[in-house]
């Protein structure tokens, strides 16, 4: 008797998350119980091992945990006479970045040689990191976020030096020559969901992998939206007016006009179950100048403690990984070893070339006017490096993971995901050259982008997946997004 064929779908939650955040995705996906034409049955799991405080430990360590969890689940299914033949993965927020790392690990292990990759989906994921905006608040948040969120925060803001040559992890993951990108290109269906507006956590440009945000100020930009009647609030079509209406004057904060406008937006200061009734709500507003700094201070203290615990945990993980002689090395160590080998080969080639040049006769035009320009010298060095890398890869036969050429020589401060303030239109992000390169590379993939617009929502980041829908009724607004995701899954 042949084993039952299984299509394994893995769900991965986001920062500070746990599997309960994806309960609606799990529930709707499990409704697809009937086997497809080939007799394949969908089996859904939600990653358990990288949750809550563990999400501080970085995309790489979180990805390693989830990869081991997938391997264990496949082994468990095989023990039940079931065989995984198809694979799909969906990540929400940070979980989308974890998904991109996980498939790189699986691809390196030869996972997709026997299992067919089908659907790769992300929902509200910061694919190019957290962008910085031309404002003081954005600068402060970027500075604190990269410090208080431990390794994950550094990777969010691209200030980490993940590879041995100092490249940030998100840069490596968006490189067409690296294993993460190659794994992504193997999937038959690539689809990302992003909030067009009102997502404070993951803005449009990083969630949708774009350079500009046409939805930054809907009233001023004159963007026309057509909502999908079958799946509201998904955007079926949008267009930007040739002549924008211009910015709308905003009332002064805490003025009577401001309170009136906030009331019209139907966006309460706090969630409905925490918002006190009259007259206690007046007391709340009166104490805001005191409550806000106290709340910020408590949040910073909590994040600092969690970050300290995470860094201690990471040190133990790294020491354990170095001491253990396991068959499956961590992907970061594998890439590091290859880079070191390539660097060694490059040094040997350069040394040999330098020795040969010392013995060679000088040309007649080697005076000041005949010297090579810096660009010509760099070009010659590039050719030497290219030959060294090609020779090394041909010798070792290792073409699974390649080092992109030429190796970047960027310092940490110039590699950050957010540049300094510039004269940008209101609401537009300051993307760095690094981020722009990531956008260009990722958009070469056949990605289907699905945008959602939750009008009047203060932060649509949780709404888009109906997170904690049992506690917050407002989260049900994302039900059609979840349904569209499930209906779009190819079994």
pLDDT in tens, 321-352: 776 655 456 676 666 655 555 555 444 554 55
pLDDT classification of 426: cutoffs 50, 70, 90: low
What is the DSSP track for 198-239? --SSS-HHHHTT-SS-TTTTHHHHTEEEEE-SSSTTBEEEEE
pLDDT classification of 419: cutoffs 50, 70, 90: very low
Separation CA 414–CA 408 (nearest Å): 11
Q: What crossing angle do the helices spanning 374-396 and 331-359 adopt, rounded to 10°? A: 120
Q: How many CB atoms lie within 10 A of CB 268?
A: 14
Sequence-separated (6 or more) residues with CB below 8 Å from residue 253? none
Residue 43, beta-bridge partner list: 8
State which H helix or E strand residue 118 sits in: strand 116-123
pLDDT digits (tens, 9 = 90+) for 139-158: 999 999 999 999 999 999 99
Beta strand pairing call for 235-240 and 223-227: antiparallel
What single-letter DSSP state applies at residue 367?
S
Q: What crossing angle do the helices spanning 288-323 and 136-148 adopt, rounded to 10°? A: 40
**What is the structure's pLDDT at 424?**
55
Beta carbons of 477 and 212 less than 8 angstroms apart: no
pLDDT classification of 462: cutoffs 50, 70, 90: very high
Separation CA 310–CA 137 (nearest Å): 26
Residue of 173, 92, 210, 171 lying closest to 412 (CA atoms):
171
Residue of 64, 44, 142, 51 lying closest to 94 (CA atoms):
51
Look up residue 208 and give its two tokens: 């949708």
Separation CA 343–CA 392 (nearest Å): 10
Separation CA 243–CA 359 (nearest Å): 67
| H-assigned helices in 360-452 | 374-396, 433-442
Looking at the chain, the whole-number percentage of residues with pLDDT higher than 90 is 55
Q: How many CB atoms lie within 10 A of CB 135?
A: 13
Residue 300 has pLDDT above 80, yes or no: yes
pTM above 0.75, yes or no: yes
Peptide bond into 140 cis (omega under 30): no
Q: How many CB atoms lie within 10 A of CB 320?
A: 10
Average pLDDT over residues 182-195: 98
User: 86 to each of 67, 89, 298, how far by Cα in Å?
Assistant: 16, 11, 46
CA 115 to the chain's CA centroid: 24
pLDDT classification of 164: cutoffs 50, 70, 90: confident
Secondary structure (H, E, C), 278-327: CCHHHHHHHCHHHHHHHHHHHHHHHHHHHHHHHHHHHHHHHHHHHHCCCC
Length of the chain: 491
Residue of 412, 415, 410, 418 lying closest to 142 (CA atoms):
418
Average pLDDT over residues 211-231: 88
Residue 384 has pLDDT above 80, yes or no: no
Separation CA 196–CA 453 (nearest Å): 6
């Amino acid at each position: 008797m042949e084993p039952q064929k299984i299509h394994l779908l893995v769900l991965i939650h986001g920062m500070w998350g746990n599997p309960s955040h994806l309960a609606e995705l799990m529930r709707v996906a499990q409704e697809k119980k009937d086997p497809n034409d080939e007799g394949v049955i969908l089996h859904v799991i939600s990653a358990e091992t990288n949750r809550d405080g563990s999400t501080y430990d970085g995309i790489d360590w979180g990805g390693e945990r989830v990869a081991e969890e997938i391997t264990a689940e496949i082994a468990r299914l095989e023990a039940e006479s079931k065989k995984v033949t198809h694979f799909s993965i969906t990540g929400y927020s940070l979980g989308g970045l974890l998904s991109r790392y996980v498939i790189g690990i699986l691809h390196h292990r030869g996972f997709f040689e026997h299992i067919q990759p089908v659907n790769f989906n992300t929902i509200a994921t910061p694919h190019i990191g957290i962008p910085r905006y031309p404002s003081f608040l954005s600068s402060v948040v970027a500075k604190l976020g990269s410090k208080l969120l431990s390794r994950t925060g550094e990777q969010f803001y691209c200030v980490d030096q993940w590879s041995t040559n100092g490249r940030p992890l998100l840069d490596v993951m968006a490189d067409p020559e690296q294993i993460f990108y190659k794994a992504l290109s193997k999937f038959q269906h690539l689809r990302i969901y992003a909030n067009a507006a009102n997502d404070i956590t993951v803005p449009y440009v990083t969630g949708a992998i774009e350079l500009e945000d046409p939805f930054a100020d809907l009233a001023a930009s004159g963007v026309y939206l057509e909502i999908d009647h079958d799946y509201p609030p998904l955007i079926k079509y949008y267009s930007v007016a040739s002549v924008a209406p211009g910015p709308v004057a905003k009332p002064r904060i805490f003025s009577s006009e401001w309170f009136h406008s906030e009331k019209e937006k139907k966006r309460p200061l706090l969630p409905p179950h925490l918002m006190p009734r009259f007259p206690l709500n007046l007391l709340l507003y009166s104490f805001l100048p005191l409550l806000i700094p106290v709340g910020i201070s408590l949040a910073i203290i909590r994040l600092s403690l969690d970050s300290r615990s995470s860094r201690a945990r990471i040190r133990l993980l790294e020491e354990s990984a170095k001491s253990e002689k396991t068959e499956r090395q961590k992907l970061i160590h594998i890439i590091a070893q290859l880079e070191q080998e390539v660097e060694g080969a490059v040094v040997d080639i350069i040394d040999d070339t330098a020795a040969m040049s010392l013995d060679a006769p000088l040309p007649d035009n080697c005076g000041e006017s005949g010297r090579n320009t810096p660009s010509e010298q760099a070009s010659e060095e590039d050719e030497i490096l290219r030959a060294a890398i090609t020779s090394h890869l041909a010798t070792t036969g290792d073409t699974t993971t390649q080092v992109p050429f030429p190796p970047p020589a960027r310092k940490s401060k110039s590699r950050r995901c957010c540049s300094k303030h510039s004269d940008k239109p209101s609401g537009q992000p300051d993307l760095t050259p690094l981020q722009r390169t990531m956008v260009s590379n990722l958009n070469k993939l056949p990605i289907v982008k699905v945008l959602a617009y939750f009008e009047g929502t203060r932060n649509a980041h949780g709404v888009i997946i109906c997170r904690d829908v049992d506690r917050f009724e407002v989260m049900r607004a994302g039900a059609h997004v979840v349904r569209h995701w499930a209906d779009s899954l190819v079994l």
